[in-house]
Structure formats: C-alpha cells, structure tokens
Amino acid sequence: MAQHNPWPDEGNTGHIWDEDLRELDNPPPLWWMLSFYAGFIMIVFYSLYYPTIPLTDGTGEFTKGMAEWTQVEEYHDDYAVLKDWRKAKFADKEEKLAALSVDEIIKDDDLRSYAVATSKVLFGDYCAACHGAGGQGNPNFPVLADDDWLWGGKPAQIEASLVNGRIGNMPAKGMMGNLNEQEISDVADYVIALSEGKGDDAAYAAGKAVYTKGMCMACHGPAGKPLAPAGAANLTDQVWRFSSDRAEVINVITNGVNVKKDGQYIAGTKQAVMPSFKERLPNADVNIKRLTVYVHALGGGQ
C-alpha cells in the first residue's frame, strides 16, 4: 500500500494498491439507499403482520401476528380447493360406483380403471399391513395376487369377504381330534404328495387312508379339492396357505387353525382372522366395492 496519496482530492480512503488501484468512498445510488431503508420499514410491518418473534415460554410458538395467518391453515385451504375440484371432476364416476353392482363395475372398462386407480391409497391403508403392498401376502397371510381363493375369487365372494370378514377354522388332529403322531406324519406326506400330483401313488396309501378316516375330506374334499370355497385350502394345487415345509404341515395338522380352548388359542395353532370392513372403512358402501374391484384385478380374480 502506498504511503502517499497522489489523489488527495478525489475522496478516496487512502487505501491504494499496485500504485493506482484505490478504494473510493462513494455513497451508493439514491434509489439503492431508498430501497434499503424501505426494506427496514417493511420488516417492521412484516413482523407485526405475520408470526415472527419466537416466544421464550418453551412452547416453540411465535407471536400470532395481526393477520392470524398460519402455514397449516393455508395448506388446509389449498387442500380443500383441490378436494372440491376432485369431487366435482369425478362426481359422475363416484355416483356410478355407488349405484352399480361390483359385477357391473368390472364390466365397464372405464369405471373399472377408475376404481382400480382410486383404490391404491385405500389398499395401502387398510389391506397392505397383512396382505402386502401389491397383494403379495405375508407369512401366514394369504396372497391376493394369485388365483387360489379360500373363500372364492368371484367379485361377489370377494365383496362378501370384505363386508363380513373371514375366520378360518381347522380342528386340531383331524375332525375327531384322535389322530396319533404316526397318522399325522402319514397324512402330512400324503398332503405334500397331493400338491405334487402324486396323491394316488401306493407309497402314500397309509396317509390317504388317514385323510379319509380323519375326516379331512369333509372340508378339503374327497380328492384334496374343496367342493365349494368355504375357507378350506385346495390341497391339490401349488399354492400353500401356510407353508410347504413338512414340519409346518405337521404343525398345522396337529394344532389346527384358530383352535380355542377355554376361550384362549391353544399353543401352536394358526391364527387366521380377517376382520369385517363394513365398519372400519370410511364411506364403506362405495369403498368396499372399489377395493373388491381392485383385489379382483390384482391377478387372479375369477
């Protein structure tokens, strides 16, 4: 920095570098200063008008502000506008959903697409916890995306499941509760062979005899296939209600499904209860139909 100042009269600050590079002390332009001051005045009004000053009472609240504006209120207002818009835009479709039966909705391409598209959130909220986000099922909870239905895969049957809920019911150790361990082991082998299509092999004759004697056939059908869907699993197909693991099969035969003693579930029994959604769903009249269409379209509807 030079020690002397060759430009004493130009109003520089005396800071000079590289012999001629110097710092001047010019005021900012008038318009700039005016907007600067206007900014200060604006801050005063702003802090009066909007919530601005944090309160020290530990609540994390702010002064209310004269406008009594809050962000969440603005969000609610905006959301209400969106909701009204949606309501108006899809009013005719919603009306149709309410008026038509599930079968009629499925026949109408447009309406079916609409029902499926508007079901995703509902399914996520009410169904996915047990049945998985895409109906892929969870351990002990049935897959909805396949074509194997315990209670029937026709729209009306799915709707009935939603309205009334479902409770599985399989007695422990056969209908009489009288199978011994050897018999249980034989019948387990037979059941596994059934799903592999080898049920008629001589090797499984013992199991087959137990199957008939133990009255498994009363629900699962004479050939391992239920005569009508009433909660009993089809034993001849490739889909397992619980697991294809032999130990698990034996466990299910031994302890049954939803078997209670003195009002308490017995140890090892499978708990398989689907609640009724008639009361649980908001706007259940329409939403049950909507979800029925959705589940029907997941991959295996009949």
Q: What is the largest CA-CA distance in the chain?
A: 120
CB–CB of 277/284 below 8 Å? yes
When asked if residue 9 is in the footprint of other proteins (CB under 8 A), the reply is: no
CB–CB of 227/221 below 8 Å? yes
Which residue of 9, 57, 92, 109 would you call a contact of other proteins, by CB under 8 A? 109
Specify the residue for token string 């710092």: 23
Binding to other proteins by CB under 8 A, coded x per residue (else -) over 50-89, reads ----------------------------------------
In terms of CB distance, is 120 or 280 closer to other proteins? Answer: 120
When asked if residue 42 is in the footprint of other proteins (CB under 8 A), the reply is: no
Give the pair of three-digit tokens for residue 197: 């299509």
In terms of CB distance, is 134 or 275 closer to other proteins? Answer: 134
Residues 79 and 199: their CA atoms lie apart, in Å, by 60
CB–CB of 20/26 below 8 Å? no
Q: Residue 22 forms beta bridges with which residues?
A: 16
Which residue of 78, 147, 181, 245 would you call a contact of other proteins, by CB under 8 A? 147
Which residue of 9, 11, 20, 58 would you call a contact of other proteins, by CB under 8 A? 20
Helix ranges (H only) for the chain are 30-49, 71-89, 91-99, 102-107, 109-117, 120-126, 128-131, 155-164, 181-195, 205-213, 217-220, 246-255, 284-296
Residue 107 CB, shortest distance to other proteins, in Å, is: 11
In terms of CB distance, is 221 or 299 closer to other proteins? Answer: 299
In terms of CB distance, is 234 or 269 closer to other proteins? Answer: 234
Beta strands at 273-274 and 166-167: parallel, antiparallel or unpaired = antiparallel
Specify the residue for token string 């009204």: 84
When asked if residue 300 is in the footprint of other proteins (CB under 8 A), the reply is: yes
In terms of CB distance, is 129 or 176 closer to other proteins? Answer: 129
In terms of CB distance, is 151 or 186 closer to other proteins? Answer: 151
Give the total of residues touching other proteins (CB under 8 A).
27
Residues 234 and 220: their CA atoms lie apart, in Å, by 7
Site for other proteins in 180-239 (CB under 8 A): 234, 237-239
Radius of gyration of the chain from its Cα atoms, rounded to whole angstroms: 36
Residue 185 CB, shortest distance to other proteins, in Å, is: 24
Neighbours of 262 (CB within 10 A): 5
When asked if residue 4 is in the footprint of other proteins (CB under 8 A), the reply is: yes
Q: Which residues are at the interface with other proteins (CB under 8 A)?
A: 2-4, 6-7, 19-20, 109, 113, 132-137, 143, 145-148, 234, 237-239, 297, 299-300
